[in-house]
Structure 1
Amino acid sequence: MKHCLLICIVVMSSLVTGCTGYPRYLNFPFDGGGRGLNSRASDLEPQVTSTYIVFISDRNGSQDVYLFDAQQRQLISLPGLNALDEIASHPSISEDGRYVVFGGSRQGKSNIYVYDRQTEQKRNLTADLQAEVRNPIINADGTQIAFEIAQDGQWDIMIYDLSGNPLKLQ
């Protein structure tokens, strides 16, 4: 399981490096202290942009969101993002790295959160929904967030703008 993230990175490395036509192995050194990308922890659900890799890890004993800068080769601090009483899942990041979205479960209730790295603020986008939500993804420019919602006995797709307003598709 600990090598799952490394394998995914090898497969998706052309996205990170800008190469086309073939995968390229990215050699991130192992860090037993959990301060780098490769660690002994379970690192799950990686999503990549040209610069960033966002993923879920249990490095600190809870399932939290982590952000790695592939160019600087270091983890980025995300103050105010992770909570002790919350289980994070399915992170996604805008291309410029400003916005991180993820699913979070707290006391049996699922929600979709957006974190603004510039303001270091986390907002619950789905607090008013009386339904289960999961699998969020943010578009490249960080203006729209799509996620699954369970209503009326089935899973549907909702799309919100960054302010948390549902968008109507034509």
Structure 2
Amino acid sequence: MKFRTWLMTMAIAAVSSGCAAYPRLLNTPFDPGGRSLNSPAAETNPDIAGRYIVFVSEREKRQDIYLYDLQTQRTIAIPGLNSLATVAEHPDVSADGRYIVFAGNRQGRSGIFLYDREIRQLRNVTGSLNATVRNPSISDDGKTIAFEANLNGQWDILVYNRSGQPLDLPTPPR
């Protein structure tokens, strides 16, 4: 379950049960070397799915994506994901932690990038789309990616499969 969905579910449950809801603090160790969830650097855009938290951090003096395993309480190596040539934003992770999707900017052009941890492959799934893109989200099973695209002077939500093909979703009758 995605963090935003989980947070909404917890808020609804707290309100409907009549009890006060207090935020839970993740009690993770601080590591000045940057191998934990907490570090001296700014951590932004966190998203949680299953036992994984994905976020952007400036630990290496640039915006890189980090993956944290709540079960082992350690960051997970993601070789081939981060690049000096890409500014990364708004990451999301599949529930099993295999797929990470994020908005990236390379040489002034935005794209939605998908990283497969199993085969260590990074791909731009919107390479053929002539639009500015942002705010991707990936389904728990990692098969579907939704994101915003500015195609015709307005922001629309597009849905692609992880191969980078747009999905033809039915529209409700009017």
- How would you bin the TM-score normalised by the shorter chain? 0.7 to 0.9
Per the alignment, residue 130 of structure 2 pairs with: 130
Per the alignment, residue 72 of structure 2 pairs with: 72
Calculate percent identity across the aligned residue pairs.
Answer: 51
Per the alignment, residue 4 of structure 1 pairs with: none
Per the alignment, residue 103 of structure 2 pairs with: 103
TM-score, with structure 2 as normaliser:
0.85
The aligned runs of 1:78-93 (5 Å cut-off) are 78-93=78-93
Question: Aligned to 2:79, what secondary structure does the other structure show?
Answer: coil
CA distance in structure 2 between the aligned counterparts of 1:112 and 1:142, rounded to whole angstroms: 14
Per the alignment, residue 53 of structure 1 pairs with: 53
Does 2:112 match 1:112? Answer: yes
CA distance in structure 2 between the aligned counterparts of 1:24 and 1:56, rounded to whole angstroms: 21
CA distance in structure 2 between the aligned counterparts of 1:58 and 1:101, rounded to whole angstroms: 18
2:56 partner letter: I
CA distance in structure 1 between the aligned counterparts of 2:85 and 2:62, rounded to whole angstroms: 9
Residue deviations 1:10-56 (CA, integer Å, cap 9, x gap): x96x98xxxx8554322111111111110010100000012000000
TM-score, with structure 1 as normaliser:
0.87
Unpaired segments ≥5 residues, structure 1:
1-7
CA distance in structure 2 between the aligned counterparts of 1:119 and 1:24, rounded to whole angstroms: 35
2:138 partner letter: I
1:43 partner letter: E
1:28 partner letter: T
Root-mean-square deviation (CA, aligned residues, Å) is: 1.9
Does 2:147 match 1:147? Answer: yes
Task: Please state how far the C-alpha of 1:98 moved relative to its aligned partner.
Answer: 0.6
Q: Is 112-121 or 22-31 further displaced after alignment?
A: 22-31
